[in-house]
Copies of this chain bind each other. A is one copy, B any other.
Amino acid sequence: MDIQMIGAGSLGLLYAGKLAASGAKVTLWCRSDEQAAAIHSSGITIHHSDGGELHIPPGVVQAHPLSEFHEEAGAAADYLVLMVKQQGIEDLVERVFIPYGRSIQRCVCFQNGTGHLELLQQHLPSGAIYAAITTEGAKRIGPREVLHAGSGTTTIGPYNTEGMPESGQKSASREISDIRLIELLNRAGFKTYLSNEIYTAIYRKLMINAVINPLTALWRIPNGALLDDPMRIQLMKELFDEACAVYDAAGISREDHLWDQIVGVCRMTSTNTSSMLKDVLEGRATEISWINGSIVRLGQRHGVAAPKHELLCRLIEGTTK
């Protein structure tokens, strides 16, 4: 099975390493020459939180800089797996999908939200697109080393242009392709499910991120501190309610107890620094436009304003300028 993976951040290193260890042929496309060279010469090391480690020797995962991506790589891939952040998708469209999109058969997207799926669809006329959501915990600790901080689950579902899971009859080849992907990931040690409600999972994660991330980033607090003060909880709740009105107008179904799930995530990850706060502290661009910005744009398309989410977008964008 040929896996071409783009993006060697924490999740990229984790998935590439474990897939290769389970026997898949993995090529990893990195942002920098330096990172590709480090992986080429020393392999990948996955540290476990119990102190153990899994070392993938040099040469098992092929690593190259993304600038060298070529048509044959796209055509050879059984699955092209995108592990870049949302901010990187527009660049990928230019570098990979516009020139080589026609040769790509199956693309698996691990980004939050949905904006990137719509964008990629335009450049993958004949390819299958999968949306993936994972709760695996990974922390990058060097160009070729990652800490697997906690096991989670990976949910994968087919995406199509109607914006809803395919409801019609699947082709036999598509069905086989779906099953092989799930088996591949399970064999590599990732507890993975095929979902025909991937949208529910995507929008659940979007809601959780939209409520937690910008507030932790502006207040510069760990996730759990959101629950320290009734005023903070009240503002989270208002962001939640504003987004619920958008979801309802857009016909996006919500699970019961979604608010309780948000509170639960704050508790379970109470000492964690959200990815957005990390970006703010390190002066990097954040994912705000793909998280709260998605909710604002979704609302605009359905005639529902989300002024609090909108102001938060602009305050976060102003922070990192």
Contacts and interface: CB of A to CB of B under 8 A. Distances in A.
Contact of A219 (B215, B308, B318): B318
A317 B228 CA distance: 13
Q: Number of copies of this chain in the oligomer?
A: 2
Interface stretch (A24-32, A44-52, A229-237, A259-267): A229-237
A24 to B, nearest CB: 44
Contacts of A317: 231
A314 interface: yes
A316 to B, nearest CB: 9
Interface in A230-247: 231-232, 235
A164 interface: no
B321 A218 contact: no
A218 B314 contact: no
A298 to B, nearest CB: 20
Q: Which of A219, A231, A318, A321 has the most CB of B within 10 A?
A: A318
Contacts of A220: 319
Contact of A232 (B219, B229, B321): B321
Nearest to A308: B311
B219 A314 contact: no
A317 to B, nearest CB: 6
A23 interface: no
Interface of A: 215, 218-220, 228-229, 231-232, 235, 307-308, 311, 314-315, 317-319, 321
